[in-house]
Structure 1
Amino acid sequence: MPVKGNQFKSNNFKDTGSAKGSVKAEKPSRPKVESVPSFGLKDGRIIKVGGLFFLVLSGYFLIAFTSYLFTWQEDQSYVLKANGGWHNLFKGQQELIDNGIKSPVDNWLGKFGALLSNQFMFEWFGVASFIFVVVFFIIGYRFLFKVRLFPISKTIAYALFGIVFFSIAIGFVHGFIVDYPHFLEGQFGFWSNRLIDAQIGRAGAAGLLVFAALTFLIIVYNIDFKLPEKKRPATTLPGFDDADDISEPYMGGGNVPIMPEMPFTPVEWPGRKSKLSQEGVLASTRYAENEVSEELEPVAKGPIFNVEKPINEPEHKPVTLMPEPSTETEIPLMVSDTRPNDVLSIEKEDLVTADDLVAQFGAFDPRLDLSSYKFPVLELLENYGSNKIAVNTEELEANKNKIVETLNHYNIEIDKIKATIGPTVTLYEIIPAPGVRISKIKNLEDDIALSLAALGIRIIAPMPGKGTIGIEVPNQHPEMVSMRSVLASEKFQATTMDLPIALGKTISNEIFIADLAKMPHLLMAGATGQGKSVGINAILVSLLYKKHPAELKFVLVDPKKVELTLFRKIERHFLAKLPDEADAIITDTKKVINTLNSLCIEMDQRYDLLKDAQVRNLKEYNAKFINRKLLPTEGHRFLPFIVLIVDEFADLMMTAGKEVEIPIARLAQLARAIGIHLIIATQRPSVNIITGTIKANFPARIAFRVQSKIDSRTILDSGGADQLIGRGDMLLSTGNDLIRLQCAFVDTPEVDKISDFIGAQRGYATAHLLPEYVGEGGEASAKDFDSENRDPMFEEAARLIVMHQQGSTSLIQRKLKLGYNRAGRIIDQLEAAGIVGPFEGSKAREVLIPDDYSLEQFLSNMDAKD
């Protein structure tokens, strides 16, 4: 039966202390207000007590079992006497002596220790019982210190197998010596062996134990059983000594071996490049990009060739290999000792697969470039607040009465009220009586806010996935959510997300972590001073605590010039910039346009690499590269994630407009699969700033407090952001759900400490260099062309361009194995010479010469003029 609102004016509610914490009326007819108790599972005290108990228990078992090994004979009369055993535990000393039982016992832990160890070691599992000590210690350590030594479920499963297996195995071996139960195997091991022996005999028992042991190793370690391979006769090239060994030194922390000093002339092969060098061994070129020495001096860039054996030619003549068409992971190579005109002819074939390369060199590890890098420690962050909920029962009761009273004034009856307490907001969920229209309650938002005298009342009618109506009421004493408490949580430490960002806590006081790689882009908006910059810092800090510099790069755009300057110290570790820029943090609008277009070029290049690798996204590509199925000699490289952060997008739109919107829209539409993700923030979420094209490609949006419902609808497509209370209070829209969060707080001094910690470590020579971009008015002209200073690869690049009829920098880069900057200069020279047309954005340049014959005439005329 519905309950009238005025029945709730009495204060006879009590805290029941349930797990979720509820404030209930003594009479069942009254609605219930549930809250979180101050003691229980929520704050982890019971978990800590349980962990301490298991640690003490493991120590107790260890001492009792160890003592039993030395004192078991003296305690036999106490633990094994007729009518003895556990019955003796509470008998007095004189009573034991009268029954002919020695007292006291010699076990180091007294009577209980003697009985306990006898029960486990003699009557049950023997010395295998020591495994219980390990299990209790791992569980206790996990609960008390919140540090996972081993997964608890696997620990218990392996321990049960170990206890049974070792008890039976020891009993099997010991059975050859004695024919009675002993504490080494326990009665379980002894009688189990008797049973198995009676069924399948001693030989069968031995086979069963071997089978069980091998099955365990296969399940746990996935061991392989391989027959010894037949050794193939080695092929010795001229000047090639089988005794030579170059497998000792490694470059870059161990990814590839360094070849001994020797002249080596790489040979360009027509068509697809072979993946092997001499004797079927990978000639994997690894570039020492952005490496610096301990004195932070740059290492000279250049290819490092990996071969299994060095080729010491007396005359150091170049060697040309003639590969056949190759597959992706298995390539035939023919080598002969006959050398007409210094070219090795076809005589013998050998095969090397990617699995062989991984077995020989190991998987490629991108982190070895900076193998000494240390992740930031939690001590760099401050622990603001007590992480305890400050809302008490009296506040819950008062708010409940005011809500019920207000609804009663409008003849709205309710059946139940439940409260969920968050760090800054408490959610009251009400179940209206049958027949009450939801819209009627929704329209009372201002009336309820007036009765509670609170700022930021927000009504959710109905709650998604629930049959309730939510009323969010700010707490009188909001609790600050510190970044340290969020990053120290198990949820963040154990996450397997590609780009985890710790945003804060929900209204149910749960830590919220999202994966930027799956968003895949994020749009942030909020009025000045409402927490937008803190939110950006929280995202950056989350990624810095989780990713290695080789795996992630930031492109930071800061038109205000003051918000992101602290991250300049990590330039050589995490930042990316254009090749000729002095500052990695971009503040000039023109440079922003060039950087965005450079990212579009990077996106196109990455898609070309994915196409060549026959994969669909960055994760599959990097996995293939790590397993050495893609070779640097073919232009492939490990691709880090790139996160573009624009702190004030409105200023860019006002000054550049379409020049900014077009590349942003391209990146938002296409860049997800190749690991480029955008975070765009603005103070003015108006429709001329956040256009429809941009909104369509940013399904994930964060709204801090805004000034009007119109701004809220612009950013979220729904109201609510205008009802937030500020100071980090925000709404996250992921397309389907709208989640209210309290943003984790990270202060400027904390960011400064983290930047200093990272910046003080050894880094790359420079920031990560983006592809070079030349905007309008920056192209080379014919009068700038100097045929005497043209690149040595100019003619070869011209023939390549004309043959493919595609004026692309990336084509020159891939086919001629050149760096992007050099390929860009060559394409500028080709344009200046009149071979290709001008730059046309993301499109390939037009080729102005139709065929090879015309090109040869053109080049002959050019040489004649010289």
Structure 2
Amino acid sequence: MSKNKLKTEKPENKKPKGAAPNPDVLKKDKEPEVKVKELVKDERTHKVMGVFFLLLSVYCFIAFTSYLFTWEDDQDKVFRYSTQELLIGDVKVDNLLGRLGAYVSHNFFFNGVGVAAYLFCYFFFIIGVNFIVGRRVFRVWRNVKYILFGLLFVSMTLAFLAGGFDFPWGGALGNALNKWTSGFVGKTGTALLLLVAGFSWLIWKFNFDFKWPEKKVKPPKPAPVAPPVTPLAAAAAAVTPAAATPPPVKEADRKNGLREDSGVMVIPPAAEEDLDEFSPMELVEREEITVIPSHVPHVPPVVPPAPILNEPEEEEEEGEELMLELKELPEMEEGEDEDPGPLLYIEETPAEEVAPTPKKKNAPQEVAFEIKPTFQDEEEEVEEVAAVRPVVPADPYDPSLDLRDYQYPTLDLLENHNADKVIVQDTSELEKNKNQIIDTLKNYDISIQKISATVGPTVTLYEIVPAAGVRISRIKNLEDDIALSLSALGIRIIAPIPGKGTIGIEVPNVKKTIVSLKNMLASEKFQSSTMDLPIAIGKKIDNENFIADLAKMPHLLMAGATGQGKSVGINTLLVSLLYKKHPSQLKFVLVDPKKVELSLYKLIEKHFLAKLPGEDDAIITDTKKVIHTLNALCIEMDLRYDLLKEAGTRNIREYNNKFTQRRLNPLKGHRYLPFIVLVVDEFADLIMTAGKEVEMPIARLAQLARAVGIHLIIATQRPSVNIITGTIKANFPARVAFKVSSKIDSRTILDIGGAEQLIGQGDMLVSFNGELVRLQCAFVDTPEVENVAEFIGNQKGYPDAFLLPEYVDDKDSDGKELTLADRDPLFEEAAQVIVQTQQGSTSLLQRRMKLGYNRAGRLMDQLEAASIVGPNMGSKARDVLVKTDAELQEILNNLL
């Protein structure tokens, strides 16, 4: 019974569960909680502390100065009276700051460090300034080191020099150090020790340069040599605005990352252990502030204006402060103030002004927001680049002497589609997108710590640092929701960004910027490039030029839907190679099933194109001729490997170096090997019409041709698995994906989705060296390509295009008997080669005469029928029956 009673009884004052609240009873007001951590981090607390330290500095300075004149009377009273009577009683002193000033001064001077006590005033001053300003104006811990050394050195030196005076020049500390040192090393040793210590500090601080005067010898004056100016350098100089010589960069500024000519301050991230690099506010908050380096080179005529500061009228009571930075930051001195409020740094030209953007009072959530730098690549003066050429002896072989008067195309043949070259940065658009992203994430209870923006030519990358405990997959799944809130097409989420602890959201810009190929070719990065086959592809999101080496790719696969920029991309690659390479160094094999895309390059046939012997058109459009050309390239590849084997080299670069140094004999079949680039504009059409006959030589070239300088650029608008097979994909590590229609096509090209989210018109993803980079392809129009082709075609070229080895299909030669009556046109030449070398080898004919294996075999059979060589002996070479040229001429006369 008692147990049941205990269970059923309820206290009278306990409120029944689920009962409605009594409206007549007022609730108690919730007492505000005082959070000590937030109070310590509050900016107002830092300013109050700064005012306190400044007041303490001024107070000590006045008290110490007054003590210098009143120390005799005040010292007697401090000794006579106790501390309690001195501070509470009615004792009169002469110090300007009263009894407290006399007491403090006496302890600092007499019981402390003497006159060196003034260093404490300096210490309190730098602490106060740092707290009030809220940033590292003075480096605290560096000054603490100087102050500690000064207290010891100054007090001991003054005690040593003024040992007989009553005034405490060195204080108790100085007297104690002086007494012990004098007893240990004597008076003279103490003087030498102080002299060495002071001199060592001066050397460490100012780093004096001690040099013994040397006898000057006047060197002979060299004769002035005018550097050669190439047409490319002259054109690049015309494109580049006239500018004065930039001011030199100071050595100290170079170490600190500060460039006088760029108007940009770069603060390297401080290491965790270097606590002396932080201000007192940063030590309290334990936060590291890093100004990301800007890549904006100096444009001499343009003076960076002062930043526009938008200071809020009211401080928000909740949330953190918002910082919006546009990365063209002006140069800042060490002591310059930084306002932690919402700042908008915009580099503007004198012609136009950017209106300040007011801060909303009811922002959804305030997080740190910054806009990362865009790489403003300036067209550099290229005279110096063009004038610097490797000094080689006159003896080595130079293949370019065959066309010694050849002139490289000039930049004035191209148009500057984006004259200002400045990426449009709409501050209101950035602010709006930032708020939309934060609101969308907040609706799903996802909080972030920081958001930054990098404005590119066509898209803006917003980098998000999620709060602790937020799963990346939650943000990745909100891709469609963020696209809906931003009302934008082509939202792409990178979660996470490789190499960074952030999540990227790529949002298309409302105002897109055209990337001009002319600006990229005029850049210093392209002009000074030492790559074998440099290709200017486009610009990254941060506006940095993406220039790669086709020889290291080593093959490039391009795919994308119709009209998304593949043909323009191919023209960009070809034109960039034409601007960098000599006709003797590079040859193109152009395959154009469309018959109209690559026809512009027909004018440069005798300079840069390669074709089959006997063909009239170097641009290959017929499928059957494509098969023959691909097989001829395979034969050329095998011949080149034979040459590399005989030369004892591993790649084309080593072989050409040996040949130019005249270490290889041309009489033995050796020759200079130019790079060969095969370009196929529509690969899907070839696969559909020829199938395996095309796929097999393409696979062979992709697998083996890299070392001998044959590289492939294949484009297709149908990226399906039956077109881009596994064999082809495995040998094309470098891939370019323009906009495709489905995620399956994107996975076929890149092995990852994302290409379906591109916005078209040259927007592409490049997979290279294990990285996936989003680029805006450089634009070159058809009239520009025509201008470049006409400029090259009007110059003197080779007698004919570069001839590939002849390929005869086995199907065409079946059923035909080889007789001396129908002997090959090259029969006499082949006979002379065999007799002169006394080697009956089919491979010798292939190398010397650049023939395919089938034709060389038929020639060898005809030579056997003419009794010039003996019968086939298996793997051994045939015997040469004719020993002299006279015997050979007699045999040839009898055959006529």
TM-score in terms of structure 1 length: 0.57
Question: Which residue of 1 is the match for residue 791 of structure 2?
Answer: 757
The code of the aligned residue for 1:367 comes to: S
Contact 1:427 1:507 in 2 (8 A): yes
Q: CA deviation at 1:544?
A: 0.3
- Is the Cα contact below 8 Å between 1:704 and 1:730 reproduced in 2? yes
Deviates more, 1:760-769 or 1:779-788: 779-788
1:371 to 1:834, Cα distance in 2 relative to 1, 3 A: closer
Q: Spell out, residue by residue over 1:796-854, the C-alpha distance to the aligned partner (whole angstroms, 9 max, x if none).
A: 888999987x6x3x32245xxx4225997553243468889xxxxxxxx9867999699
Q: Determine the structure 1 residue equivalent to 2:782.
A: 748
Distance in 2 of aligned mates of 1:758 and 1:853: 49
Aligned partner of residue 644 in structure 1, secondary structure: strand
The residue aligned with 1:174 is none
The structural deviation recorded for 1:792 is: 4.0
Deviations 1:358-402, CA, capped at 9 Å, x for gaps? 96x521111111011111111111111231121221111000000
Identity %: 59
**Residue 510 of structure 2 aligns with which residue?**
476
SS at match of 2:813: coil
Change (3 A) 1:644 1:788: closer
Q: Give the equivalent residue in structure 1 for 2:680.
A: 646
- 2:588 counterpart SS class: strand
Q: Counterparts of 2:383 and 2:348 in 1: how far apart (Å)?
A: 21
**Larger Cα Rg: Structure 1 or Structure 2?**
2
The 5 Å alignment of 1:331-370 reads 362-370=395-403
- Of 819, 824, 844 in structure 1, the residue corresponding to residue 849 of structure 2 is 819
For the structure 1 residues 221 and 758, does the alpha-carbon distance in structure 2 shift closer, same or farther, using more than 3 Å as the test? closer
Tell me what 1:379 maps to. Answer: 412
Whether 1:29 aligns to 2:308 is no
Please give the residue correspondences for 1:730-809 in structure 2 after superposition, counting only pairs within 5 Å.
Answer: 730-779=764-813, 783-786=817-820, 789=823, 791-792=827-828, 808=842
Query: What amino acid sits opposite 2:381 in the alignment?
Result: V
What is the match of residue 480 of structure 2? Answer: 446
**Secondary structure at 1:712's aligned position in 2?**
helix
1:551 equivalent in structure 2: 585
With over 3 angstroms needed to count, the CA separation of the structure-2 counterparts of 1:795 and 1:575, relative to structure 1, is closer
Q: 1:811 corresponds to which letter in structure 2?
A: L
- Consecutive aligned runs of 4 or more in structure 1 exceeding 6 Å deviation: 16-19, 21-28, 38-46, 793-804, 832-836, 845-856, 861-866
Call closer, same or farther: CA 1:472–1:594 in 2, change over 3 Å. same
**Superposed, which structure 2 residues align to 1:512-661 within 5 Å?**
512-661=546-695
Sort the Cα spacing of 1:398 and 1:659 in 2 relative to 1 into closer, same or farther, 3 A: same
Output aligned runs, 1:108-127, within 5 Å. Answer: none
Instruction: Indicate conservation of the 8 Å contact 2:534/2:577, yes or no.
Output: yes
Is the 1:373–1:761 contact (alpha carbons within 8 Å) kept by the matching residues of 2? yes
Structure 2 partner of 1:686: 720
The SS at the match of 2:415 is coil
Matched residues in 2 for 1:785 and 1:510: separation? 65
Report the counterpart of residue 860 of structure 2 in structure 1: 830
Tell me which amino acid in the other structure corresponds to 1:400: K
CA shift at 1:36, angstroms?
3.4
**Inter-CA distance 638–440: structure 2 relative to 1 (3 Å threshold):** same
Shift of 1:795: 6.7
For the residues of structure 2 that align with 1:865 and 1:529, how far apart are their CA atoms? 61
Q: Tell me the alpha carbon deviations over residues 425-450 of structure 1, each in whole angstroms, 9 at most, x when there is no partner.
A: 10000000000000010011111011
Q: Which residue of 1 aligns with 2:699?
A: 665
Give the superposition deviation at 1:785: 1.6
Equivalent position amino acid for 1:692 in 2: G
Query: Secondary structure of 1:777's partner?
Result: helix
1:835 to 1:413, Cα distance in 2 relative to 1, 3 A: farther
Shift of 1:783: 3.2
Change (3 A) 1:835 1:743: farther
| Distance in structure 1 (CA, Å) of the matches to 2:406 and 2:346 | 35
3-state DSSP class of the match of 2:770? coil
When the two chains are superposed, the root-mean-square deviation of aligned CA atoms in Å is 4.1
Alignment partners' CA distance in 1, 2:872 and 2:744: 47
Q: Which residue of 2 is the match for residue 351 of structure 1?
A: none
Which AA in structure 1 matches 2:326?
Answer: S
Equivalent residue in structure 1 for 2:755, among 712, 721, 731:
721
Closer, same or farther: CA 496–852 of 1 in aligned 2, 3 Å: closer
Q: 1:707 to 1:522 in 2, by over 3 A?
A: same
The answer to whether the 8 A contact 2:807-2:852 is kept is no
Instruction: Summarize the Cα distance change of 1:486–1:39 in structure 2 as closer, same or farther, 3 Å threshold.
Output: farther
- Provide the C-alpha distance between the structure 1 equivalents of 2:647 and 2:434, rounded to a whole number of angstroms: 62
- 1:776: Cα distance to partner? 2.6
Deviation at 1:631, TM superposition (A): 2.0
Q: 1:462 to 1:578 in 2, by over 3 A?
A: same
Whole-angstrom distance in 1 between the partners of 2:442 and 2:625: 61
Which SS does the other structure have where 1:524 is aligned? strand
**Aligned residue number for residue 410 of structure 1:** 444
Q: State the SS of the aligned residue for 1:573.
A: helix
User: Do 2:764 and 2:775's aligned partners in 1 also have CA atoms closer than 8 Å?
Assistant: yes
Q: Which residue of 2 aligns with 1:456?
A: 490
Unpaired runs of 5+ in structure 1?
4-15, 47-142, 156-219, 223-357, 837-844
Q: Do the aligned partners of 2:589 and 2:609 also contact (CA within 8 Å) in 1?
A: yes
For 1:740, what is the secondary structure of its paired residue? strand
TM-score, normalisation: structure 2: 0.55
Which residue identity is paired with 1:466?
Answer: K
The aligned counterpart of 1:276 is none
Aligned residue in 1 for 2:204: none
Q: Distance in 2 between matches of 1:747 and 1:40?
A: 39
User: In the alignment, is the contact (CA less than 8 A) between 1:780 and 1:829 conserved in 2?
Assistant: no
- The equivalences for 1:35-54 within 5 A come to 35-37=326-328
Specify the alignment match of 1:422 in structure 2.
Answer: 456
Deviation at 1:697, TM superposition (A): 0.2
Q: Structure 2 counterpart of 1:374, which letter?
A: Q
Distance 2:637 2:702 in 1: 11
Quote the offset at 1:221 in angstroms. 12
What are the ranges of 5 or more consecutive residues in structure 2 without an aligned counterpart?
1-34, 39-263, 266-290, 297-306, 333-344, 350-376, 883-887
- Which structure is richer in relative contact order (CA contacts within 8 A, separation 6 or more)? 1
Distance 2:460 2:878 in 1: 75
Counterpart check, 1:146 vs 2:179: no
On the 8 A contact 2:680/2:715 being kept in 1, the answer is yes
- Amino acid in the other structure paired with 1:632: P
Q: Aligned to 1:678, what secondary structure does the other structure show? A: strand
Q: How far, CA to CA, are the matches of 2:462 and 2:725 in structure 1?
A: 36
Listed one character per residue, the Cα deviations across residues 436-486 of structure 1 (whole Å, up to 9, x for unaligned) are 000010011111011101011000000000000000000000001111111
User: 2:427 corresponds to which letter in structure 1?
Assistant: T
Q: CA distance change for structure 1 residues 734 and 762 in 2, over 3 Å: closer, same or farther?
A: same
Conserved in 1, the CA contact under 8 Å of 2:830 and 2:845?
no
CA distance in 2 between partners of 1:703 and 1:221 (Å): 38
Give the 3 Å change call, closer, same or farther, for CA 549–39 of structure 1 in structure 2. farther
CA shift in 2, pair 1:579/1:25, >3 Å? farther
Return closer, same or farther for 1:740/1:768 CA change in 2, 3 Å cut-off. same
| 2:637 alignment partner AA | M
